[in-house]
Amino acid sequence: MVNALGTLQGKHALVTGGGRGIGLACARALLLRGAKVTLAGRDFAALVQAQQALRALGEVAVQTIDVADETSVNAGFAAAAERFGRIDILVNNAGQAKPAPFLKTDTAHWQHMLAVNLSGVFHCCQAALPAMLDAGWGRIVNVASTAGLTGYRYVSGYVAAKHGVVGLTRALALEVAAKGVTVNAVCPGYTETDIVKEAIANIVAKTGRTEEEARAELAAGNPQKRLVQSEEVANAVAWLCQPDSAAMNGQAIAVAGGEVM
């Protein structure tokens, strides 16, 4: 099934962290709506594997980028734009979560959480926004987290960074509101991704609980008593990228089964 919906025909979308999980699901959703997609990330092998899985759906390319490195972002975005034209849609999905009690969160850990989860969004927005403003049209969707809307124990650096992403989303949305560009965030709850797999493994290692018990503990915060699926997050992202979603701006939409309201 190629270009099933077609509403983003001719648009170029760049998805960071596009090799797996939510990023891969977002890329698929955007391809199905007619966009050309650049999968960006640090793991070239994972990007190529994702590209092969998606190739039948439309035009898809890969670009190695470290979002925490401004030089890498600028070079990678320039290469992507040379290949497929200006970046019309930016999905800032790349992120990492590493647990640590606050008093065991050293400066290096703290700075790493900010660099990947918050500064990465800043670098990518700065790289993509000028061309969007010149064109008078653009969509930026930041994949934050319910951790950007509420607190969680033992991940203070991650929570602080994701709150920063929501704040950046709102501030930038106001700056570009009258210029044809929208900036929104989606905030997934615990989602069936590698990050959650790592969280489950950490719970098992530290508490002796079974994997099933650890999974149930994470799902318990969702009133639907389940983990969110990557495709559910991707559907929200794709909707925000539609031309007829132009009135959606500066929003932080929880995709979490009612965990936060």
Q: Could you report the per-residue pLDDT of 165-174, keeping only the tens digit for each?
A: 999 999 999 9
Catalytic residue among 152, 154, 158, 190: 158
**Contact of 15 with 39, CB cutoff 8 Å:** yes
Question: What is 12-189+229-255's CATH superfamily?
Answer: NAD(P)-binding Rossmann-like Domain (3.40.50.720)
pLDDT of residue 136: 98
Mean pLDDT for 169-189 is: 98
Q: What is the pTM (predicted TM-score) of this model? A: 0.93
Neighbours of 93 (CB within 10 A): 29
Report whether pLDDT(155) > 50: yes
Our answer to whether residue 158 is catalytic in this structure is yes
For the chain, state the CA radius of gyration.
Answer: 18
Going from N- to C-terminal start, the domains of the chain cover 12-189+229-255, 193-227
pLDDT of residue 2: 41
